[in-house]
Amino acid sequence: MEQGTQDQRSLNELLRAGLSRREFLQHCGRLGLSLPAAAVLLSAGTRAGAAAQQTTALAVGLTYDVTTLDATMQYDAQTINVYGNIYDTLLRKVWANGEFTIEPHLAESITTIDDTTWELKLRSGVKFHNGDEFTGEDVRFTVQRVLDPAVASPQFSNISGYDHVEVVDPYTIRIITKQPFPLVPITLCNLRIVPAKYFEQNGAEHVAANPVGTGPYRFVEWVRGDHLTLEANQGYWNGAPGISSVVFRIIPEDATRIAALQTANADLILAVPPINAPALEATPDLTVAKTLIERISWIELQALPDSGRPTAKREVRQAIAYALDRDALIEGLLLGNGEKVATMLTPKHLGYSPDIPGYEFDLDKAKGLLSEAGYPDGVELEFMVGTGGQSKEYAEAIAGQLAKAGITARINLVESAVLLAGWQKHDFGDMILGTWTSNTFDADGTLYPLFHSDTVWSNYSNPEMDRLLDEARSTLDTAAREQLYKQALQILHDDMPGVPLWEQMALYGLSKRLQWQPRPDQELFLVEASLSG
């Protein structure tokens, strides 16, 4: 007993030193080391004694390199983390108590002229970092660039409902949509405005490495794969930021990123694995900041009737939903860093309905439904899983739970590109372990691509669902949209083409000298942060 306590203490010290429990045990096993012997070999590594960098510079540990600083050409999280500080948007989300309101930013107001015309009054006197004045021409240029088929912008689908932008005068623009498009305000929170004149004078390739925005930070240097430096824009129209400079360091390996925080080489690191969070929290100068985010984990099921798969039967899909003990999965796999969801939407989504009950863990019901489906002796399903992150462990735990209900899920572990290709071709077997975010906080961003029969991702075909989703995306009446989505969620609950699992949580490691609150939209606005000491 006493030995066990010592082992646990030593192990905790090791974890504090930045190695995950699982990794550590794997490594010990490979070397044939006993836990106590290995723990003696290594003792605690802490930030204590590290030469704290007494500076107003902030160091941020990213998980992979930024791809381009042309804000119209990329949409991956790490890149947005950086260029989100260089460029501004016309509107922005302001969060309070886990909910957001959309507020003016570069635009001073937004009004609808008719169902397909939105008029925005722009802020005057705003300058880009190179001195150019921000006007409606920059908005028109940005939108047209994203919509241009020759540019092939990854952001095209975000604003594909836009038709074009009209510049009424330098500080008034109109966005004309192809049909009523209720997502205009939220998409304007994500669309960064690039300078038209600078772009035309220098070309896209130059801009991609030498960005110029109106944002709180201006670009200084980018050493690819190593670091990227920004400095405060002292003339920022919304007040100069408190932190004078920021260095984003590219540190792909989890253990190294944690070591960077422990050795004061970073003040903020992204993507802390849940297993490392307690050890970081136990370190005196460090803390872990968490927030639930829009990303949902769920199991996509092959529900197309002509697929011939067992999951084409509704009862099998419902049996899967009943057979899963989500609380145990969240506790065991995520160490509590997630929130059970009853539907594919979170409370932060427009269209969320708390009235949908969801499926509570019930093995008897699961077995009964399997019998009804014609599988009284159990059923064998093919479960395609991508190799990224901890998907394999998650899939194994899910398969273990399903087995208790008589469902044998054969895991087919494939590289993520293979999984996505199989998904798009509807050729993945019965189940896929998926995660989804649209960053719109609107039901349309999740339900339309996943469950409308006319999209590449959907493995579900229901004319009533198509009608509800089409109608909801083509009216500007919010109350009507919420009613339509409530009906859609009820159908999804009954038909169960996808089993919602949990709402994910983002974990950040922080030096205590940094004051910053993580946002549910995962934006890293450093103008909202401050440093002490």
Partner 1 sequence: MGQYILGRLYQTVLVLFGVSAVVFLLLHISGDPAVLLLPQDATKEAIEQFRHAHGFDQPLYVQFYRFLSGAVRGDLGNSLKFNQPALALVLDRFPATLELALAALVISIVTGIPLGIISAMKRNSPVDTSAMVLSMLGQSVPAFWLGIMMILLLSVKWQIFPPFGRGGISHLILPAISLSTWSAARVARLTRSGMIDVLGQEYIRTARAKGLANLVVVQRHALKNAILPIITVLGLDLGGFLGGAVITETIFAWPGVGQLAMQSIYSRDYPVVQATVLLVATGYVLINLLVDVAYAYLNPRIRFG
Residue whose pair of structure tokens reads 């983002």 in the numeric block: 506
- The nearer residue to partner 1, 180 or 449, going by C-beta atoms, is 449
- The nearer residue to partner 1, 42 or 480, going by C-beta atoms, is 42
With H, G, I as helix, E, B as strand and everything else as coil, classify residue 127: strand
Q: Which of 150, 306, 479, 532 binds partner 1 (CB under 8 A)?
A: 150
Within 283-342, which residues bind partner 1 (CB under 8 A)? none
Task: Based on the shown chain and the rule CB under 8 A, indicate whether residue 142 belongs to the binding site for partner 1.
Answer: no
Task: Based on the shown chain and the rule CB under 8 A, indicate whether residue 250 belongs to the binding site for partner 1.
Answer: yes
Give the nearest distance from C-beta 211 to partner 1 in angstroms: 13
Burial 408-436 (b: 16+ CB within 10 A, else e): ebebbebeeeebbebbeeeebbbbbbbbb
DSSP code at position 112: E
Stretch that binds partner 1, among 4-12, 253-261, 325-333, 369-377 (CB under 8 A): 253-261
With H, G, I as helix, E, B as strand and everything else as coil, classify residue 294: strand
The count of residues in the chain is 533
Task: Based on the shown chain and the rule CB under 8 A, indicate whether residue 55 belongs to the binding site for partner 1.
Answer: no
Q: Which of 57, 112, 156, 290 binds partner 1 (CB under 8 A)?
A: 156
Helix (H) or strand (E) holding 136, with range, is helix 136-147
Give the nearest distance from C-beta 345 to partner 1 in angstroms: 14
Q: How many residues bind partner 1 (CB under 8 A)?
A: 72
- The nearer residue to partner 1, 375 or 457, going by C-beta atoms, is 457
Q: Do 238 and 52 contact (CB within 8 A), yes or no?
A: no
Q: Which of 260, 288, 321, 506 binds partner 1 (CB under 8 A)?
A: 260
- The nearer residue to partner 1, 50 or 271, going by C-beta atoms, is 50
Task: Based on the shown chain and the rule CB under 8 A, indicate whether residue 107 belongs to the binding site for partner 1.
Answer: no
CA atoms within 13 A on the CB side of 57: 16
Task: Based on the shown chain and the rule CB under 8 A, indicate whether residue 33 belongs to the binding site for partner 1.
Answer: no
Within 502-531, which residues bind partner 1 (CB under 8 A)? none
Burial class (CB in 10 A: 0-12, 13-18, 19+), 96: exposed
Bridge-based pairing of strands 57-62 and 268-269 is parallel
- The nearer residue to partner 1, 253 or 355, going by C-beta atoms, is 253
Q: What is the pattern of x (binds partner 1, CB under 8 A) and - over residues 70-89?
A: x--xxx--------------
Alpha-helical segments (H) within 148-191: 184-188
Task: Based on the shown chain and the rule CB under 8 A, indicate whether residue 27 belongs to the binding site for partner 1.
Answer: yes
Q: Which of 57, 95, 102, 154 binds partner 1 (CB under 8 A)?
A: 154
CA distance linking residue 328 with residue 313, whole number of Å? 27
- The amino acid sitting at 169 is D
- The nearer residue to partner 1, 42 or 240, going by C-beta atoms, is 42
- The nearer residue to partner 1, 386 or 406, going by C-beta atoms, is 386
Q: Which of 57, 255, 411, 413 binds partner 1 (CB under 8 A)?
A: 255
Task: Based on the shown chain and the rule CB under 8 A, indicate whether residue 365 belongs to the binding site for partner 1.
Answer: no
Bridge-based pairing of strands 379-386 and 431-436 is parallel
Stretch that binds partner 1, among 38-46, 327-335, 355-363, 480-488 (CB under 8 A): 38-46
Q: Is 496 left (phi over 0), alpha (psi -120 to 50) or beta?
A: left
Q: What is the pattern of x (binds partner 1, CB under 8 A) and - over residues 191-220?
A: -------------xx--xx-----------
Give the nearest distance from C-beta 18 to partner 1 in angstroms: 6
Burial 180-218 (b: 16+ CB within 10 A, else e): bbbbbbbbbbbbbbbbbbbbeeeeeeebbeebbbbbbbb
Q: Which of 118, 134, 322, 457 binds partner 1 (CB under 8 A)?
A: 457
Give the nearest distance from C-beta 41 to partner 1 in angstroms: 9
Task: Based on the shown chain and the rule CB under 8 A, indicate whether residue 178 belongs to the binding site for partner 1.
Answer: no
Give the nearest distance from C-beta 427 to partner 1 in angstroms: 13
- The nearer residue to partner 1, 286 or 527, going by C-beta atoms, is 286
Q: Which two tokens stand for residue 146?
A: 């994203």
CA distance linking residue 160 with residue 271, whole number of Å? 31
From residue 480, alpha-carbon distances to 469, 476, 477, 493, 497 in Å are 12, 8, 5, 20, 24
Q: Which two tokens stand for residue 80?
A: 């947005």
Within 389-448, which residues bind partner 1 (CB under 8 A)? 415-418, 420-421, 424, 436-438, 445, 448
- The nearer residue to partner 1, 149 or 357, going by C-beta atoms, is 149
Within 262-281, which residues bind partner 1 (CB under 8 A)? 262-263, 265
Q: Do 427 and 370 contact (CB within 8 A), yes or no?
A: no
